[in-house]
Amino acid sequence: MNLKLRSLVAACSLACASTSAFAGALPESQLDNDWYQLGEQLVEQKTLQSRNTNTAKNVILFVGDGMGISTLTAARILEGQLNGDTGEEHFLSFEKFPHTALVKTYNTDQQTPDSAGTMTAMMTGVKNRAGVISLGPMAVRGECGEDVEGNKLTSALTLAERKGKATGIISTARITHATPAATYSTSPDRNWEDDTKLPEDSTCTDIASQLINYSEGNGIEVAMGGGRRHFQSIENGGRRKDSDLTEQWLNDAGNETRSFVTNKTELENVDLANTDKLLGLFTSSHMSYEADRDDAEEPSLAEMTETALEVLKKDEDGFFLMVEGGRIDHGHHAGNAYRALTDAHAFAKAVQTALDNTSREDTLIIVTADHSHVFTIAGYPKRGNPILGKVVNVDDTEATDLDGLPYTTVGYMNGLGFADLATGGDTRYNTDETPIATGRVDLTNINTEGQGFHQEALVPLGSETHAGEDISVHAIGPGSHLFGGVIEQNEVFHVINEAAELGGKSY
């Protein structure tokens, strides 16, 4: 037992007596065991951490889209193995945060949720229907009119703007996609990302227009991600019929200094100290998976996070920032664990970047997911077995099924099934011509650890689906102690509101 903990035990009152007696009764072989001492140290660290009841000047909400518990476990093991360790003992950057809870993710109309409903819950404190963004549960998907006007919800980002804070949105998905859209827009359909998606004679406004014309407070300071096609006109290579929103955004600058960038070099050349507003749209649709990202063209999620913080921290009133690792979700939908997990690693690096560039005294950092996926870890592989590999037993024999075929540790309940593709961009997700593989495949001579390998699936579907089990939330900083136990997803908003004193009270 280390000296610091011995002194704490010695200083205990009568309430500690039974614990001390019990510890003294343990054999040296137990007390000297590395696992015993590691557990002791981890509990000591948590015991010595006091609750931070300061007001959160700054709030950073990290959302790993589709980052369920099994994804965290597999990503942690893979990152540890890539670092040269066995992997199981590793921790992702945020997994050592002092406060954690399990989160129920259902929508008001679906047992297994979608991102529009889950992010609405986290950003507004109200659960709603799948596919509907920041509208109450009475709003009907795809219908405009009174159902929209009477059911609009106010997000935590908007409350932060009204309080004078700077705000930012970052995503590796399209910035108009469901998760980032719920921070700044209201829409009865998550697919209405530009004016070509709206029904004829619609009275609703598309999502991209709502971002550009956002007028609460002094407007959103930073927005970076993919989805340029939804902002630019057809003449400029986009999809819009009405006008080019990027040109409008620059023309509306007034006395502000605004920068619009489309690649990493342009971003690096921005004078952040003298920039009031920053808009970065780095790709036409979603940004690349981390495994495929051209570092000369697209910034990483960590780089976007660091850049956003440089702009937002200039506001003396503080800031609210939402950062989404959007393509974890897409990797799973494609049945490609390699890309899903390496995007989770990029997400964890972004969280570490935020930790390194903020203070625990005044910044609440929350890391969570919107929903899980039907991604599982199975079999009885020996410790240290490659998490993306085939199952190898403790006695170093390769595990096989009842037909004598080897199988992988990770796999999917449903989806497109097996594929072994060349490295490079994943073309399987959301493509009509993608063949669906059914049944088992002989993996004997196939490298299952490569980025082109797609795991087998039990139920053949055109896309792997979300899952309905709980996800986790990890938090550090002011108000983080409010997370604990099993919570409803809309409680995330209420913790933010309480910790940052945003003023969204019902009394």
Binding residues for Zn(2+): 65, 329, 333, 370-371, 466
Taken as a whole, the chain contains a residue count of 507
Separation CA 151–CA 158 (nearest Å) = 16
The CB-side HSE value for 449 (13 A sphere, CA atoms) comes to 10
**Are 64 and 348 contacting, i.e. CB atoms less than 8 angstroms apart?**
no
Q: Which residue has the tokens 């560039």?
A: 357
Give the number of other CB atoms < 10 A from CB of residue 466.
23
Query: What's the N-to-C CA distance of the chain in angstroms?
Result: 50
**Are 393 and 438 contacting, i.e. CB atoms less than 8 angstroms apart?**
no
Those residues whose C-beta lies under 8 Å from the C-beta of residue 27, and which sit 6 or more positions away, are: none
**Are 332 and 28 contacting, i.e. CB atoms less than 8 angstroms apart?**
no
Q: Which of 71, 76, 77, 82 lies closest to 94, judged by CA?
A: 76
Give the number of other CB atoms < 10 A from CB of residue 391.
20
Per-residue 3-state assignment (H helix, E strand, C coil) for 201-254: CCCCCCHHHHHHCCCCCCCCCEEEEECHHHCCEHHHCCCECCCCHHHHHHHCCC
**Are 122 and 490 contacting, i.e. CB atoms less than 8 angstroms apart?**
yes
Q: What angle do CA 60, 66, 71 make, to 5 degrees?
A: 100
Q: Which of 187, 171, 189, 167 lies closest to 179, judged by CA?
A: 171
**Are 374 and 118 contacting, i.e. CB atoms less than 8 angstroms apart?**
no
Q: Which of 7, 13, 29, 115 is catalytic?
A: 115
Separation CA 69–CA 455 (nearest Å) = 18
Q: What angle do CA 488, 167, 203 make, to 5 degrees?
A: 75
> Which residues line the annotated binding site?
65, 177, 179, 324, 329, 333, 370-371, 466
Q: What angle do CA 233, 218, 248 make, to 5 degrees?
A: 15
DSSP bridge partners of 415: 460
**Alpha helix segments (H runs only) across 83-231:** 115-124, 146-149, 156-162, 178-184, 207-212
Q: Which of 506, 496, 507 lies closest to 62, judged by CA?
A: 496
- Known catalytic membership, residue 115: yes
Q: How far is CA 222 from CA 15, 166, 192, 315, 425, in A?
A: 52, 9, 22, 12, 28
Residues recognised as catalytic: 115
